[in-house]
A = this chain, B = another copy of it.
Amino acid sequence: MRYLTAGESHGKYLAGILEGFPAGVRVTKQYIAAQLKRRRQAPGRSARQAIETDSFEVVSGIQKEITTGAPITVLIKNIKVFNELPFSSVPRPGHADLAGMLKYDTLNAALIRERASARETAARVALGSFALRLNELLGVCINSRIVSLGGLNEITAQSAAVELKRARAAGDTLGGVFEITAENLPAGLGNFNQWDAKLTSRMAAALMSVNGVKGFELGGGFKLATLSGLAAAKTPELSGGLDGGVTNGRALVMRCAIKPVPGLKAGTPSINLKTFKNTEAVSKTSDTTAVFAAAVIAEHAAALTLAGALLEKFGGDTFEEIKQRVKLWRLKTGKKLAYGCAVSMPMAVRRPAKR
């Protein structure tokens, strides 16, 4: 399974092609729309986002909402389309502007922003919906939750709203931490034989690619670095579900750190790369935090990677074929897994996914 996304923030469409996805998976338009809505209307996004919806089409790979095995194409319409790209030779600190302007040898930061923008992630969520659904149908539950916001660790919907309102009023932005879990994964996915076959590496790559993510933890993560071996041995759940880069039957538990949105309405000191004069870069992005949206995107990025790992282990071109193989595998590994986990490594509680 592989995929490419394309499209600019103010081009006609964002586009994505997902190749190698099995036939026979029912993914409704409503399901995809709901995922896109979760991303778009996540708390902390601008007022405008909250009222708009993503208008999209699945133009290939599907017949009557059931995948055919052919590559899936999703197109998402951009609401605002630039006929003429604006010009700005002032890179915004904290964004890809400077790096991109140098890389592509251009004085127009707008050319860079158009693609480097997190708008791209809408295409990833649309493609990821298929992977998320495949995981669900195979009994794998991928969820996310916000662990902290702007340094506050006990976050409720209410306290988050208060915090976001406060920051917005101050012209400020917030970072935070989210957690991604995948429960009921078959044991034995991923491989320790090569560095790039480890599921650890692949999950890290998938999640670190989400815009704004600056840190990644598996299980105990940085906390594990402070524990002694004797203490760690008593908390096997801190493995985070992977040993040697292979699923061990426990829930996969990962956390990501999101930096505060760098675009500040007040402007940040920068330089005009044409004139080399000092100036201010002004960012119009009005999101107050990316944490909630990034958690949704990360679920989809994780789902794509896990779907790939499932297809590696179980092969197959149709959902029925894969489902049958997963079922047999679970029967085969069940007893050893239960015992193995139960004694020294109490299994994480497995809740069915509710979506």
Contact = CB atoms under 8 A, between A and B. Distances in A.
Residue of A100, A150, A270, A314 most packed against chain B (CB within 10 A): A100
Contacts of A188: 99, 102-104, 317
Contacts of A8: 60, 70
B103 A232 contact: no
Contacts of A68: 104, 111, 114-115
A15 interface: yes
Interface string A4-32: 11111001111101011001100000000
A161 to B, nearest CB: 17
A312 interface: yes
A333 interface: yes
B233 A204 contact: no
A214 B204 contact: no
Interface string A217-241: 1111110111111111100101110
Contact of A246 (B99, B222, B335): B99
Contact of A59 (B7, B100, B198): B7
Contacts of A205: 195-196, 201-202, 204-205
A296 interface: no
Contacts of A325: 315, 325
Given A151-B226, A220-B214, A59 B23 contact: no
A192 B269 CA distance: 24
Contacts of A332: 105
A293 interface: no
A348 interface: no
Contact of A260 (B24, B85, B93, B232): B232
A130 interface: no
A221 B204 CA distance: 14
A201 to B, nearest CB: 4
Q: Copies of this chain, how many?
A: 4
B246 A173 contact: no
B233 A209 contact: no
A125 interface: no
A282 interface: no
Contact of A5 (B14, B148, B194, B301): B194
Contacts of A236: 93-94
Interface stretch (A46-54, A134-142, A174-182): A174-182
Interface in A249-276: 249, 257-264, 266, 268-271, 273, 276
A248 interface: yes
Contacts of A23: 104-106
A41 interface: no
A2 B332 CA distance: 28
A220 B63 CA distance: 35
A343 B114 CA distance: 24
A337 interface: yes
A96 B246 contact: yes
A116 interface: yes
